[in-house]
Chain A
Amino acid sequence: MTWLGLPAPLWQALILSIELATVTTVVLMVVGIPLAHWLNTTRFFGRSFLEVIISLPIVLPPTVIGFYLLVTFAPQTPLGQLWQVVFGHGLTFSFAGLVVGSVLYSFPFAVQPYQAALRSVPKELVEAAAAMGATSWQVTRHLRLRWARAGIFAGSGLAFAHTMGEFGVVLMLGGNLEGKTRVSSIALYDLTQALEFEQAYRYAAVLLVVSMLILIMVSLLQKHMEIRQPTM
C-alpha cells in the first residue's frame, strides 16, 4: 500500500498530525474563547501577569513544555496518578498527552487573536442590544461571536497550522508510537535519521504542499468572512 512512492505508515503519520491539530483546535476554541472574553472584560489583580503566562509559549522552547509535562505527569507523581485514574493510561506516549502538550504550545496563537477579535466588537452595539432587552447569552451568540468570527477563525487557523508543525513537544513526550504519537514531523525526522533521503525528499514535499494548502484555505475563508462582516 504505497501512494506517491510513500508507504502507508507515512500517510498515517500525516493523518495523525491532522487529527492532533483538529482536536487541539477544538479544545482551544472551547477553552480559549470564553477565556479571551473574560480577560477582555474583567479587571482583577494579576491580569497582566496571567496574560504574560498565556503568551509564554510564543518564546518558550517547546522542549521546555515537553520536559515539564514529562516530569510532572510521570506515573509516580500525584498529577500522573490522577491522569491515570481519569484516562486509564499515562499522559506520556499517548495521543491525549500530545493534545495537552499541543494545547499549551498553541495557546497564545489562538487566544491572542480571540482577544483582539472580541475587543473589536463596538461597545455601542453591545449596550444598544442590552438596552433593547437582549440577554447576555443573546448578546454573545448573535452579536459578539458573529462580529468577531473572522478573527476567531484566524486564531483557530493559526493554532491548527502551528500544531501541524509541532515537533519538540512530541519528541519529548511521544515515544514514537506508530499510529498513536508518530506525527508527520517526527516521521520525517526518522526518515532523515535512517538516511532514507529519497523518501524524505518526497515526504517533505508532501508536507510542504499540505501546509501551503492549509494556509491558503484559511486565508481564503477569512477573506470571505471579512467581506460578509457586518459594518457599522
Chain B
Amino acid sequence: MLLRNGIKSAVFALMAMMSAGALAEELLVAAASDLSFVLPEINKAFEAKHPDVSVKVSLGSSGNFYAQIQNGAPYQVFMSADEKYPRDLIASGNALADSYNVYGTGRIALWTMKPAVNLSQGLSGLMDARVTRIAIANPAHAPYGRAAEAAIKKQGVWEALQPKLVFGENISQTAQFVQTGNVDVGVVAMSLVLSPKMRGIGRWAEISSALYPALVQAAVVTRAAENSAIAREFVKFLDTAEARDLLQKYGFRDTK
C-alpha cells in the first residue's frame, strides 16, 4: 500500500513536471558563436525573470544563420556578430525593424598555448619564423575573420603572415585550433578567452581596436516571432544593466 502510494505520488510528480514543461514557452535564439559562454548566463538571468520561458540557443556563424532565416528558419531572435546581417534581414522583411538592438562591440585578441610565441609585439611579432601556423576565422563569412584580416592588413604584415594562415569555420573553431595546439597562435574573440572555461589557459593579448573596423553587434526579432511578446522582451533585456554587466564581463565593449 505504502509502495503503491509512493508510485502514485511519483507518477503525479512526473505528470506535474511534464505539464509544467509543456506550459513553458520556448524561445529559439540563433546566436553567433562568440556568445557561446556569455549567453547561458544571460539566459539564466532572463529565465529567472520569466520562469515560464525556456530559452533554446543554437550557436553558429552569423552568415549561416542569416541565410537560414532568409529561408524561413524558425528562430525567433537572431544575435549576430555584426550589424549588417540583422539590417539586411530587416530590409528583406524577415526581421522586425523596431526590434533592432545593438548589444555590444566585439574585441579581438591573439591567443596562444605555446611558450615560444612572443605576444608583446602584437601582430608584427608573428613574423617570427618559429610561428608557422596562425588561425583566423574565415573572412569570407565570419565577422571576426574580417576583423582579423583588416587588422593584419592595417599592421602591414599581410604579405608576411598570409602563407601561415589557416581558416576556422567560425570563431569557436578558430579557438579550438589554438586550444588543441594545432596552430601556434590565433586571432579569437575576447569573449572566448575571458570566459571562465578558457581563462588561465595559454596567454592572450588584445589587438588594438584602432586596427580594425568596430565589430558592432546587433540583435533582432525575426518575422517568425512577429506576434511573440517574449522575443521582444528578450531583445530588450539585453539593454538592462544586468545583461550589460554580463556582456562586459565577457569582453564586449558597452555601446550605450
B182 in complex: contacting residue of A93, A194, A195, CB < 8 Å: A93
Interface residues of A in 157-206 (CB under 8 A from B): 171, 175-177, 190, 192-195
B191 within 8 A of A: no
Q: How far is the CA of A190 from the CA of B66 in the complex (A)?
A: 14
Contacts of A71 in B (CB 8 A): 180
Q: Is the CB of A75 within 8 A of B140?
A: no
Question: How far is B140's CA from A55's CA once the two chains are assembled, in angstroms?
Answer: 37
Chain B residues contacting A193 (CB-CB under 8 Å) are 61, 63-64, 67, 138, 140-141
For B139, give the chain A residue with the smallest CB separation. A194
CA–CA, A35 to B164, complex, Å?
Answer: 39
Q: How far is the CB of B253 from chain A (nearest CB, A)?
A: 26
Identify A190's interface contact among B133, B140, B182, CB under 8 A: B140
A71: nearest residue on chain B (CB-CB)? B180
**A59-97, CB < 8 A from B:** 70-71, 74-76, 90, 92-93
Looking at the assembled complex, report how far the CB atom of B147 sits from the nearest CB atom of chain A, in whole angstroms: 16
Q: Are B141 and A190 in contact (CB under 8 A)?
A: yes
Q: A93-B166, A171-B169, A193-B63 are in contact. Are A74 and B181 (CB under 8 A)?
A: yes
Residues of B within 8 A of A92 (CB): 177, 182
Q: Is B167 an interface residue when CB atoms closer than 8 A count as contact?
A: yes
What residues of chain B lie closer than 8 Å to A194, measured between beta carbons? 63, 140-141
Proximity bits, B38-67, A CB within 8 Å = 1, else 0: 000000000000000000000001011011
- The residue on B at minimum CB distance from A189 is B169
A76 touches B140 (CB 8 A): no
Contact of B166 with A90 in the complex, beta carbons under 8 Å: no
Other 11 A-B pairs with CB < 8 A, given A175-B135, A177-B167, A192-B64: A71-B180, A76-B181, A90-B133, A93-B166, A175-B166, A190-B140, A192-B67, A193-B138, A193-B141, A194-B141, A195-B66
> Which 10 pairs, one residue from A and one from B, show the smallest C-beta to C-beta distance?
A175-B166, A193-B141, A176-B167, A74-B181, A194-B140, A92-B182, A193-B63, A194-B141, A76-B181, A93-B166
